[in-house]
Structure 1
Amino acid sequence: MNMVKNPLEMKMTPPQILVSGFALIILIGAVLLSLPISTRSGLGTPFLDALFTATSATCVTGLVVVDTGTHFNVFGQLVLLVLIQVGGLGFMTMATLVAMMLRKRISLKERLILQEALNQNSIEGIVRLIRKVINYSLMIELGGMILFTIRWSFDMPFGKALYYGFFHAVSFFNNAGFDIFGPISGPFTSITSYVDDPIISFTSGALIVLGGLGFIVLSDLLDFRRTKRLSLHSKVVLSMTAFLIVFGAIVILVFEFTNQKTLASLNWSGKIWGSIFQSITPRTAGANSIDIAGMRQATQFFMVILMFIGASPGSTGGGIKTTTFAILIGAMIAMIRGKQDIVMFRNRLAQDRIFKAITLTFIAMFLVLFATMVLSTTEDRNFLMILFEVVSAFGTVGLTMGLTPYLSDIGQVVIILLMFIGRLGPITLAYALGPKPEKELYRYPEGKITIG
C-alpha cells in the first residue's frame, strides 16, 4: 500500500508531512472530544478546551484544562488513549503498522518520513526498527497494565482495576501523564494518593523511564546479550539518564525534606519514593505523586531545568533531549581543557552534531523566553508559575503548579502552540515552514571575533 499517493503530498517534504499529519490528528481528536458523547455531563466541551486537550494528548504532554476522570466518560477517555498512542509512537509508525499488516511495500518516500519521525540519521533498517518499536511498546505497556491491575484490584473491583491499569500503562509509557483518578481522589490530583506505594511508584517510574529512553536504546539493551556491545548513542543516553535521575532525586530530597506540604509528613519510604518519582517525571512524563504547587521555589526552579532537558531522542518524550545536554556539557569541558574535539566514550563527535545541539538549545530558549513574556502579559500569575507552565508545555511534560485550568483563551493558544512545537521539535518545524535548503556554491573568507 502506498501511503503517500496524493500528487500535492508528493511535493511535500518529510517534515511538512509530519507537521500536517499531527495537525490533522489533533483536529480530529478535538472534534471528537467536543461532542456530547465524550463527556459525563452530556453537554459537550467548548472547542478551545477540546483542542487544548487533544493537542496535549497527541503531543503526549498531559496538561489539562478539565479533569480527565471527572469530565470525560469512557468514550472520551478512549479517544484520549488513541491520541496518546498515536502521538507517542507517531502517526507514520501507526500507518506503517497497518501497511505491514496488509503485507504492503513501504516506499522510499515513506521511509524518509519515518527517518524524520524517529530522528534517525539514515533509512537503513528503518522498517525493522518500526517492528521493534511496536513490539517493545506493546510488551512494556502489557507488563505495566498487569502490575497496575494486580495492585489496584485490592482497592477497586477487578474490571475497574483492569481499565485503570490499561489507561495508565499507555499514558505513562508514552510519557503523556494523563490520569483518571479524579473521581477517586479529587480533580487534578494525579497519583498523589500513592506517593508512598512502592508498586505504583516503581511501575509508573519504570514505564516513564522506558518510554523516555528511546527505542534505539531499548533495542540495544535487548540485543546486548547477543552483541555484547552498546552504541555510543545508548551509552550517552543511559549514563545521562541515570545521572539526572539520581542527582535529581537527591536535590529534591534535600530541598523538600522539611517541607510539610510535600515530604516532611511522609515516612522514609515515602520520602525516597516521592523524591525518585519527582526526579523521573520532569523527564516529560507529567504525572506527580506530591503536590507540585506546594514545593519550595528552589525545587520548582530545579524541576524547570529537568523539564527543559527532557527525555532522549527517538522516544515518546520531549525537551532538548539528554544527548543535546550531554553535548553541551562536553563542549564546555572541552573548551575549559583547551581541547578541539568533544570526546565521549573514546569517540569524537562530528562537528555538525555539535552545531545542531547548540542550535536546538538556542531555539528552545528563545521560544521559552518569548512565550513566558507573552503569558506574563496575559495571565495574572507569578513569574515562576508562568515559566514552569511554559517549559512544561514545550518539554511536553504536563506538570503544572495549578495554572492550566485558569489560562485565558490567549494563554491556551500559546500553550497549544508550545506543545505542538515541543512534540515535533523546533528544528523539524523550522524545516517544514522554511524554504528548501540549497547547496552553497561558495564560502566567505574566515574572520575572527573576540569571545569572552
Structure 2
Amino acid sequence: MARLRTIFLKMTPPQILTLGFLAIIAAGTLLLSLPHASATHQATPLIDALFTATSAVCVTGLVVVDTGIHYSTFGELVILVLMQIGGLGFMTMSTLFALALRKRISLRERLLLQESMNQSSLEGIVRFIRRVLIYAFVIEGVGALVLALRWSTEMPFGKALYYGIFHSVSMFTNAGFDIMGPMNGKFSSFVNHVNDPIINVIVIALIFLGGIGFIVLAEMWDYPKTRKLSFHSKVVLYATGILFVAGAVIIFIFEFTNAKTLEPLSLSGKLYSSLFQSISPRSGGANTLDIPSLRHATQFLIILLMFIGASPGSAGGGIKVTTFAILIGAVFAMIRGREDVVFFRRRLAKDRVYKALTITIASLAAIILFTMILSTTEDVDFLVLLFEVTSAFGTTGLSLGLTPHLTVIGKVLIIIMMFAGRLGPLTLAFTLVPAQEKKELYRYPEGKIMIG
C-alpha cells in the first residue's frame, strides 16, 4: 500500500487524470456488461460494453447498439452517470462529494483540478469548481424540465421527466446519447422532431452552453453586473458565433434541394435543421436529419466542424475553436506582412501560436493514421471512415452508419481515438512523456530555408 502511495505521489497531473478516466471506463464496462444492464437480461459482449462506457465517459455518443432499445433502465442510468462524470470531469465530481462532506481540498487535488479544467492559475480554483457545478446543474435542470413538459404531451409525466433528465445531461455534456429508439426506431436521434421548435431550441441551447467552456459560461453569467468579458471569452464567442452561422448557411445552401433532407421541410424546418446540424458537429452528437442522406459536400463540412470541435475548458473535443482562430489569425498576419497575431487589439504570444500548430498537426496525424489503419480492416468508402475517425477524435458521436458494423479491431481503434480525443493530444503526450520545465541555456545559430 505504501509503495502504491509513493508511485501515486510521483505521478504528474496528466498521468493521474489519464488513470482516473481509465478507472471510470473500467467500472462502467463492468456494470454495462452485467445481464441486468440489458433489456433482454443477457450479458452484453465485453467489447460492446467497453465501447459504450468509453463513449459515455469521453462524452462522444458513438454507439454499437441502440441505447434506448438495447439497455435496461439500469443500463441507461449507468450511462447517464458516466456522461455526467465524463462531462464535468471526475475531479470536479470528486470535489462535489468532498465539499458535501466538508473535506479540505489538498494542494495536490487543486493541481489536478487546475489541469482538468485547463486553468492557468490555482487561485480561486475551488471557488470556480463550485460555480461550475452550480451552472451545470441549474442549466441541466432547466433543460430537463422544459423537455419533460414538451414530452408529457406524448407520454406519462414520470417517463417524460426521465427522458428530459437523460437528454438534458447528454446534450449539455455534449455526449450525444439518446434513448429515442423505442419511440422513433433504432439510431433515430431527434429525426422525428425536425420541425419541433421546443426540442430544437432547447437542444441547440444545451449544446452551445455545454460547448463554450465553463470560464466563458461564468463570465456570461456575471456579464449583466460586470459588463466585461475577458480576451479569451471574446475570442471563443466570436469564433463560435461565426462557425455556427457560417455552418448553418452552408448546410442550408447545400441541402436546400436535397429530397432526402431539407427539400420536403417547411421554411422553419429548414432553418431549424440547418442550425441544428451546424451546432451538433461542435461535439454535440445529436441530429435531426439523416446524416448518411446528406450530400458529400455537407458531410465533409461536418468533418471540418467536428475537427475544430468545442471550446477549451468544456466537455467537447476537437482541436478547439481558439486553436482554429489562432491559426486563421496567423495566416492573415502572414499575408498582411505582420509579425504578430492580433485579436481585439491584443497581441498573442508566440508560444500560443506554436501550441496551436502543435495541437493541429498532432491531431491531423492521429486522424490520418487511424483512418489509414481502418481502411485495411473495414470494407467501406474512405469518406465514411474519415467521418467516423474524426467524430471519435472530436468526441462528437455523429456517424454515417458505420459504428454498429465495425469489426472488433475497428471498435478497438475507435475506442482509442475517443479516449485520445477526450484527453487531448497534448495531455496524452505529457502523460507518456512529461514536459521538461527546464529552460535551455543556449540557442543555436539561425538557419534559413526556402518556403512556398
TM-score, normalized by the shorter chain, greater than 0.5 = yes
Q: Does 1:187 align with 2:189?
A: no
How do 1:382-401 residues align onto structure 2 when only pairs under 5 Å count? Answer: 382-401=381-400
Question: Is the 2:282–2:309 Cα contact (8 Å) retained in structure 1?
Answer: yes
The residue matched to 2:361 in structure 1 has which SS?
A: helix
- The question of 1:104 aligning with 2:103 is answered yes
Matched, 1:31 2:51: no
Q: 8 Å contact 2:327–2:357 — kept in the other structure?
A: yes
Q: Deviations over 1:370-390 (max 9, x none)?
A: 010011110000010100000
**How far apart are residue 322 of structure 1 and its match?**
0.4
SS in 1 for 2:294: coil
Distance in 2, matches of 1:447 and 1:231, equals 38
Deviations for 1:234-267, whole angstroms, at most 9, x for unmatched residues?
Answer: 0000001111111000000100011111111111
Q: Distance in 2 between matches of 1:278 and 1:124?
A: 38
SS at match of 1:385: helix
Report the Cα distance in structure 2 between the residues aligned to 1:306 and 1:105, rounded to whole angstroms. Answer: 41
> How far did residue 422 of structure 1 move?
0.3
AA aligned opposite 1:91: F
**1:316 equivalent in structure 2:** 315
Could you report, residue by residue, the CA deviation over 1:93-150 in whole angstroms, capped at 9, with x for unpaired residues?
1111111112122112111111111111121221111011100000000010011001
1:100, 1:441 → 2: CA distance? 44
Q: Conserved in 1, the CA contact under 8 Å of 2:51 and 2:64?
A: yes
Letter paired with 1:32: L
Write the distance in 2 (CA, Å) between the matches of 1:128 and 1:349. 28
Aligned twin of 2:403: 404
Structure 1 residue runs of 5 or longer lacking an equivalent are none
Shift in Å, 1:352: 1.1
- Aligned partner of 1:245 in structure 2 is 244
- Report how far residue 227 of structure 1 moved: 1.6
SS in 2 for 1:154: coil
Aligned residue identity for 1:116: E
The list of structure 1 runs, each at least 4 consecutive aligned residues, that deviate by more than 2 angstroms after superposition, is: 4-7, 438-443
Where in structure 2 are the equivalents of 1:146-295 lying within 5 Å?
Answer: 146-295=145-294
Q: Structure 2 matches for 1:83-94, cutoff 5 A? A: 83-94=82-93
Deviations 1:346-393 (A, max 9, x none): 111111111110000000000000010011110000010100000000
Give the secondary structure class of the aligned counterpart of 1:258.
Answer: coil
1:18 aligns with 2:17: yes
**Matched AA of 2:85:** V
CA deviation after TM superposition for structure 1 residue 318, in Å:
0.6
| 121-130 or 38-47: bigger deviation | 121-130
Is the Cα–Cα contact under 8 Å of residues 33 and 44 in structure 2 kept in the other structure? yes
TM-superposed deviation, 1:436: 4.8
Letter in 2 for 1:41: T
Deviations 1:36-84 (A, max 9, x none): 0100000110000000000000000000000000000100000000000
CA distance in 1: counterparts of 2:51 and 2:350, whole angstroms: 39
User: Quick check: 1:307 aligned with 2:321?
Assistant: no
Between the aligned partners of 2:127 and 2:331, the Cα distance in structure 1 is 37
Aligned residue type for 1:200: I
Please say if 1:444 is aligned against 2:433.
no
How do 1:349-428 and structure 2 match up within 5 A?
349-428=348-427
Deviations 1:136-165 (A, max 9, x none): 000000010011001000111111101100
Separation (CA, whole Å) in 2 of partners of 1:123 and 1:353: 20
* TM-score of the superposed pair, with normalisation by structure 2: 0.98
The answer on whether the counterparts of 2:12 and 2:434 sit within 8 Å (CA) in structure 1 is no
Partners of 2:393 and 2:125 lie apart in 1 by 27
Q: CA deviation at 1:435?
A: 4.4
State the alpha-carbon separation in 2 of the partners of residues 226 and 103 from structure 1.
Answer: 30
| Aligned pairs (5 A) from 1:45-124 | 45-124=44-123
Tell me the percent identity: 62
2:285–2:396: 8 Å Cα contact kept in structure 1? yes
In structure 2, the residue corresponding to 1:316 is in which secondary structure? coil
> How far does residue 7 in structure 1 lie from its aligned partner after superposition?
2.3
Q: Deviations over 1:407-448 (max 9, x none)?
A: 001100110000000000000000001145153233222222
Cα distance per residue 1:190-245 (max 9 Å; x no partner)? 01000110000000000000000100001111111222210010000000111111
Query: 2: CA distance between counterparts of 1:37 and 1:173?
Result: 27
Matched residue type, 2:440: E
1:358 corresponds to which letter in structure 2?
Answer: L
Give me the whole-angstrom Cα distance separating, in 1, the residues matched to 2:331 and 2:304.
18
Deviation at 1:303, TM superposition (A): 0.4
CA distance in 1, matches of 2:434, 2:441: 17
2: CA distance between counterparts of 1:196 and 1:418? 34
Gap change, CA 1:363 and 1:160, over 3 Å in 2 = same
Q: Which runs of 5+ in 2 are unaligned?
A: none
Letter aligned with residue 24 of structure 1: A
The CA deviation at 1:284 is: 0.4
Structure 1 stretch displaced more, 351-360 or 219-228? 219-228
How many residues align? The count is 449
Question: Which residue matches 1:430?
Answer: 429
User: Secondary structure at 2:292's aligned position in 1?
Assistant: coil
- Residues 318 and 421, structure 2, Cα contact 8 Å, conserved in 1: yes
